[in-house]
Structure 1
Amino acid sequence: MTRIGYAAGAFDLFHVGHLNLLRQARERCDVLVAGVVSDEMLREVKGVRSVIPTAERAEIVRSIRFVDDVHVETVPDKLDVWREVRFTHFFKGDDWRGTPKGLRLEGELAAVGVEVVYFPYTAHTSSTALRRALEALAPSGATAAAGTP
């Protein structure tokens, strides 16, 4: 059976943690689909404005050699995403392991035969930390890091 992996993320302010997730995921599947969360979903689910627009983030991720295909996520429910992509393995950072959200995700995906695989979270580099650094560097009153001109 072909192992179809799915690794989802905003992939905004692309950094080594994103690369590590995609590299490790590709090592454990035959086909890797990267889920790029849309601008709208980022605002709705995380309350965050992307710095880089969805289409550009998808193009960046699509260009990475570990990625076979890109799926732009426009719905928050991973079961709905599964119905669209039909992945067999879902890859996530281990900061989700054992959390209520992670346990719920594991249960929902197990019901359709999907295994959730966790990888070490790259704690020293995150999009949140990069956003904070950009905000600290911005001149007083500037909103460039928030995605507005």
Structure 2
Amino acid sequence: MTRRVGYAAGAFDLFHIGHLNILKHAKSECDYLIAGVVSDEMLRLTKGIDPVVPLAERLEIVSSNRFVDQAVAETVPDKLDMWRELRFDVFFKGDDWRGTEKGLRLEREFAAVGVEVVYFPYTMSTSSTVLRRALDALTAASAQPAPVARAAH
């Protein structure tokens, strides 16, 4: 029997229930799950953001998850380069990519090397973007000078 190797890539910054759902669903679809944790440099290059949690810590968090068999740093922008290194059989992605230009290109490129692309429902209630905005708002609020109390006359 051949082993089905899956690959789920993500920043996994501010780890939340959406990340857990992707990893749990991915593991249910394969025998061995590799989680690609996108490096700080690749996040800057591809999304223009700096992660809140550094790569080494994100790797530790993801590799500690019981659904993940192996966690690797994703340091290249091309998912096919990761496939060339890891030789996975199925690539997992949130369904926010389904039908998009990026998603369709990914499907074509992976189909050419025999990799199946499987989409999972995107968790709408929580996202790293929403969490990052909340942190930014808290940071901005804490930077404001405290109001000066007036003495009663």
Tell me the TM-score normalized by structure 1: 0.93
Query: Where does residue 46 of structure 1 map in the other structure?
Result: 47
Number of residue pairs matched?
A: 142
Corresponding residue number in structure 1 for 2:61: 60
The secondary structure found in structure 2 opposite 1:42 is: helix
> Residue 139 of structure 1: CA displacement?
3.7
What are the within-5 Å matches in structure 2 for residues 1-149 of structure 1? 1-140=2-141, 142=143
CA–CA distance in 2 between the matches of 1:10 and 1:139?
24
Which whole-Å CA distance do the structure 2 matches of 1:57 and 1:83 have between them? 23
Give 2:146's aligned residue: none
CA drift at 1:136: 1.5
Q: Secondary structure at the match of 1:138?
A: helix
| In 2, Cα distance between equivalents of 1:12 and 1:111 | 31
Q: Which runs of 5+ in 1 are unaligned?
A: 143-149
TM-score by length of 2: 0.90
Q: CA RMSD in A?
A: 1.0
d(CA) in 2 for partners of 1:70, 1:118? 20
Q: Distance in 1 between matches of 2:50 and 2:5?
A: 30
The unaligned stretches of length 5 or more in structure 2 are 144-153
What CA deviation, in whole Å up to 9, does each residue of 1:66-106 have, x standing for no partner? 00001100000011010011100000000000000000000
Opposite residue 28 of structure 1, the aligned amino acid is E
Runs of 4 or more consecutive aligned structure 1 residues displaced over 6 Å after TM superposition: none
Displacement after TM superposition at 1:2 (Å) = 1.0
In structure 2, distance between residues paired with 1:141 and 1:46: 26
Counterpart amino acid of residue 55 in structure 2: T
